[in-house]
Amino acid sequence: MRSVNKSDVPALSRDDGLVSHILHSRRDAAGTDLTITWVDVEPGARQLRHEHDPEQVYVIVAGEGVMTVGDDERAVEAGDLVHIPANTEHGLENTGDTTLEYVSAATPAFPERDVDEFYDE
């Protein structure tokens, strides 16, 4: 069994109010079909709209915000799950006054080169 805590894994901040913690990737388990990331979004911060090949879900763990998937925009809060189909533009904004936290699961796993920036080498 592999078990990790977000405080013990590599984190990445681009000075945009988001801190991503890579919990599980192909660097951790060769051949996995998943990438799992825990993301903290500061109040007022916004994840830029983007898209990628892996299908993804966001599980909102704490806080509240507005999620956009394609042309659909909805309020989200702790306890919500949002499904993001492959190659669909999506983004998230923290509209609350506390940190919004979510866990992302993507499949197939992002290639190692996409998670390399989390690691100091």
Coil vs helix vs strand at 50: strand
Buried b (16+ CB within 10 A) or exposed e, 87-106: eeebebbbbbeebbbbbbbb
Max Cα separation, the chain?
Answer: 40
Residue 121 CB partners (closer than 8 Å, separation 6+): none
Residue 14 CB partners (closer than 8 Å, separation 6+): none
0.85 exceeded by the pTM? yes
The 10s digit of each residue's pLDDT in 24-35 is 999 888 889 999
Torsion sign (Cα): 87, 28, 101, 44: negative
Give the mean model confidence (pLDDT) for residues 35-53. Answer: 96
Give the mean model confidence (pLDDT) for residues 99-108. Answer: 97
* Domains within the chain, CATH numbers bracketed: 6-118 (2.60.120.10)
* pLDDT exceeds 50 at position 121: no
